[in-house]
Amino acid sequence: MTTIQLSDETTICRLDDDRKAVEPCSIVIFGASGDLTARKLIPALYHLHKDKQLPPSYRVIGFARREKTSESWRAELREALNQFSRTKPVDETVWAEFAANVHYCMGDLTDPTAYAKLEALLTGFNSPLLRKNLLFYLATSPSQFGQVVEHLHNANLLHKHNHLADGWQRIVVEKPFGHDLTSAHLLNNELTRFASEQQVFRIDHYLGKETVQNILMFRFSNSIFERLWNRDMVDHIQITVSEKHSVGGRGGYYEEAGALRDMVQNHMLQVLALVGMEPPVSLEAEAIRNEKVKLLQSIRPLSPADVAKQVVRGQYFAGVLDGKPQTGYRQETKVKPDSNVETYAALKLFVDNWRWSGVPFYLRTGKCLPLGASEVRVQFRPTPRVLFAAACAGKLDPNALTLRLQPNEGISIRFNGKVPGTQVGVRPVRMHFSYDTEFGAYTPEAYERLLLEAVAGDATLFIRRDEVETAWQIVDSIRNGWEGKSLTNREFYAAGTWGPIAAEELLAQSGHVWRDPQPVK
């Protein structure tokens, strides 16, 4: 760690100087012809190269069954970069440097000889480290994870327990990590047959977002807020991930997933863990992940009776969004006309530990809502009903702190102030910190940070096996409570509104109301 003095009062503390060094390596992308590779992975690697974040010597190998040459694949990627690069136009000199490190290996994932072909390509590189230090990115269906890992092991490209003589090998896998606890457990067993848990990097792009990472920095580096972050001062916490777009062409996928599996099991429970966890003993990956798991394990189990009282699902029907007609979910492509799949979910959870005992955590997410935004609102306990609180007849707004994760990333504090004038009037006012205004710097794409951390071997932003399985336990208990029950009229909502009336009733039980995200100008 180093410090940089900017002025008498301003110092930058560079924590990332302690990051593990990135060594020469080869990055093999399975499923290289897919959308994820063109939209996210290659643009991220290009920008890491441009910013000189990758090791001085590296190779990127695309592995897929479509018949292509390295030259034709590079040409495809160059066209895709025009569309998906975060900076335009693409720097031709930088692209030429990057493309020289890009290769293509044609092969079927199920064919052992294809892996021998891959091994021969790696062996042909001029540096032994490019052959021994290997990052395998499985941008494939989860059903193929097991066979890819087994073939890599059989081809002598993956060793379960890394030794210095063997270099290092790591596997990056995309969600979904199963569709319930049983399938997640089986999937994890498949991955760890031929790789240790320390070699498996489960990627959730949400954890790569700058503002999600900032939750820990905000909580544990600011004493004025750290001391408020407990049951004594916090009345309740709301976590909202609202999506403006509809299911659209993903109806087939959504019929299998629903909002609970698609958003709650991963993104939302990860944010909850970061918001509620205890301070780790260090910034090491396992110390942070240990505390996240402890928080998830502290969430009070939900019986079917609890689910009926503490969880709401919803589904959008035809409405108006941004002044335009919006089709209902049951009229979307590949959706059953009588589907009970939830496009909205709201939960009331309790964390049974010393810090959060009795404090409700409200989570909600949904499609076709009025605004696309992700934020955490920490609402503090109201002041005693004397003086101003009594005079305002219940209209005195509680203090609140909002962490806006996207878009318009920032932090807001809401407090009460006197309205200017001869009469005594009070009104909620807001102080707002904006990342763009304060730092005036770009926010890197999530995949840039996550790929760099995987190359460096830092698992902090990746999800451990016990995290995945604990999250599925929570979600499975909710799905069990819904089993065999149809949606009621109070669980439908019009597209372009903030959700079903049942979600409002969920908070009203405790005298609370949802605080909807607002557009930030």
Q: Global pTM?
A: 0.90
Cβ–Cβ < 8 Å for 2, 17: yes
Domain 207-444+464-508, CATH homologous superfamily name and number:
Dihydrodipicolinate Reductase; domain 2 (3.30.360.10)
Q: What is the DSSP letter of 111?
A: -
Cis peptide before 24 (omega within 30 of 0): no
Conformation bin of residue 64: beta by default, left when phi > 0, alpha when psi is -120 to 50: beta
CA atoms within 13 Å, Cβ hemisphere of 10: 2
Among 1.10.10.10, 3.40.50.720, 3.30.565.10, 3.40.800.20, what is the CATH number of 2-174?
Answer: 3.40.50.720
List residues bridging with 402 in a β-sheet.
377, 412
- Long-range pairs, 193-196, Cβ under 8 A, ≥24: 193/146, 193/149, 193/150, 194/149, 194/150, 194/152, 194/153, 194/158, 194/160, 195/149, 195/153, 195/158, 195/160, 195/169, 195/171, 196/160, 196/161, 196/162
Q: What is the DSSP letter of 299?
A: B
Q: Degrees (nearest 5) of the Cα angle 467, 43, 262? A: 35
Cβ–Cβ < 8 Å for 421, 396: no
E strands along 133-260, which residues? 134-138, 169-174, 200-203, 234-242
Hunting for tokens 């503002």 — which residue is that? 211
pLDDT at 4: 47
Conformation bin of residue 501: beta by default, left when phi > 0, alpha when psi is -120 to 50: alpha
In angstroms, the CA 377 to CA 375 distance is: 6
List residues bridging with 202 in a β-sheet.
173, 463
| Residue-wise pLDDT tens digits, 38-83 | 999 999 999 999 999 999 999 999 999 999 999 999 999 999 999 9
Cβ–Cβ < 8 Å for 201, 454: yes
pLDDT at 10: 47
Cis peptide before 407 (omega within 30 of 0): yes
| Residue extent(s) of CATH 3.30.360.10 domains in the chain | 207-444+464-508
| Residue extent(s) of CATH 3.40.50.720 domains in the chain | 2-174
Write out the catalytic residue numbers. Answer: 267
In angstroms, the CA 349 to CA 390 distance is: 31
In angstroms, the CA 257 to CA 215 distance is: 28
Rg (CA), the chain: 25
Closest CA to 406 of 176, 195, 202, 241: 241
Closest CA to 436 of 206, 205, 207, 211: 211
Q: Which helix (H) or strand (E) holds 216?
A: helix 210-221
In angstroms, the CA 198 to CA 459 distance is: 8
Q: Which residues of the chain have pLDDT under 70?
A: 1-20, 162-165, 385-395, 422, 424, 440-444, 520-521
CA separation (Å) from 420 to 112, 415, 427?
77, 16, 10
